[in-house]
Amino acid sequence: MSVTRNRVAAGLALVAAGSLAVFGLATPAQAASKKLTIAFVMGAEADPFFKAMKVGATAEAAAKGVNLVWQGNPSVYSPATQIPIAQQVLATKPSGLVLIPTDPTALQTIADSAIKAGIPTVNVDTHVNDLSKVTAFITGDNADGGAKAADAIASAIKYQAGQTYQVAVGLTSATATTNVARLAGFKAQVAAKYPGIQIVDTEYSQSQPSVADTNVSNWLTKYPNLAGIFAIDGTNASGAAAALQAKGLVGKIALVGYDAYPANVKLLQAGVFSALIAQNPAAEAKLAIDDLVAKLTKSPAAKSIKHDVVIPNVVLTSATSAADFAKYTYVA
């Protein structure tokens, strides 16, 4: 009996360890078939942004009749975890590669070795340092999104020249390139158009809504006259929304968030957010596949591939149409 129990316990341990291996490792692509295979190697599969991108990629791959390989670490956005996955995917010799580098320098060698092996490579969202041999770079305009967030806050607080307004910004880390670009765009727009807005504080959430909640709760104490909050990404948006609800300040403090996670869209419709800035990752993925297919099949469209493409961010408010909500909400 006790031997059986020991086996059960050991079995459980194996199952648990095995499940880690299954979720963490790449599945080999079918490189041998004549059908084109396009591999996406992204940062963190679980990120709603990448999930929305996957929806666009899957639809376009089906439309173009190509195999889609989708690989990334389940949850960690880091070059240390992305490089082994990228190497493994390259070993399966896909026809084309869509690389979303987690670090411009660390992933340069992956892009170089893919291109050297005759695998055309497109960068989406973020890019490697040397873009000269990359087929295309397609991204959302984060600086423009930051500027649009400044406009959205100004409109929500009914900005008037001559008045001063305190605004705080919640970031996820000091180094995330999207955060940096959004903040730069936000600051530039504030300086240009809204001199009465003072950016009084910035804090980091480390991708955890509970940390963002702590940051915002403390701001609400520290700045009794706080007029608005710019939550620069999805986790900051969730945490800031919770803090405002818990302190009964919904509607009194303007909250502009980023990323149209389904939960955030619901809170926008309930009036907790004044506005949400949404990206369009599905459109980025669609264009990346179209470019690679054109190049690989040497179709006439290959000549008109644009090297740098910027897809603008959109502003969602309670006035946005249901059709646009359906289009821009990041679906799971």
Q: Which residues bind other proteins (CB under 8 A)?
A: 2, 5-6, 8-10, 12-13, 16-17, 19-20, 23-24, 44-48, 51, 74-75, 174, 201, 203-204, 206-210, 213-215, 217-222, 235, 238-239, 242, 245-248, 261-263, 266-267, 332
Q: The tokens of 55 are what?
A: 């929806």
Contact assessment for residue 98 and residue 289, using Cβ atoms and an 8 Å cutoff: yes
Looking at beta carbons only, is 48 or 146 nearer to other proteins? 48
Looking at beta carbons only, is 263 or 302 nearer to other proteins? 263
Least distance (Å) between residue 202 CB and other proteins: 9
Looking at beta carbons only, is 12 or 191 nearer to other proteins? 12
Q: The tokens of 312 are what?
A: 């603008």
Least distance (Å) between residue 34 CB and other proteins: 33
155 vs 46: CA distance, rounded Å: 33
Taking the mean position of all CA atoms in its chain, how far away is CA 143? 14
**Amino acid sitting at position 276:** L
Residue with tokens 């960068």: 123
313 vs 217: CA distance, rounded Å: 28
Tell me the pairing of strands 37-44 and 136-140: unpaired
Phi first, then psi: give them for residue 6, nearest 5 degrees: -60, -40
Least distance (Å) between residue 172 CB and other proteins: 11
Least distance (Å) between residue 203 CB and other proteins: 5
Least distance (Å) between residue 105 CB and other proteins: 22
Q: Measuring CA to CA, how many Å separate 9 from each of 4, 14, 15, 265?
A: 9, 9, 10, 44
Least distance (Å) between residue 148 CB and other proteins: 24
Looking at beta carbons only, is 214 or 297 nearer to other proteins? 214
Looking at beta carbons only, is 46 or 117 nearer to other proteins? 46
Residue 199, beta-bridge partner list? 167
Looking at beta carbons only, is 30 or 318 nearer to other proteins? 318
180 vs 146: CA distance, rounded Å: 10
Q: The tokens of 101 are what?
A: 């580098």
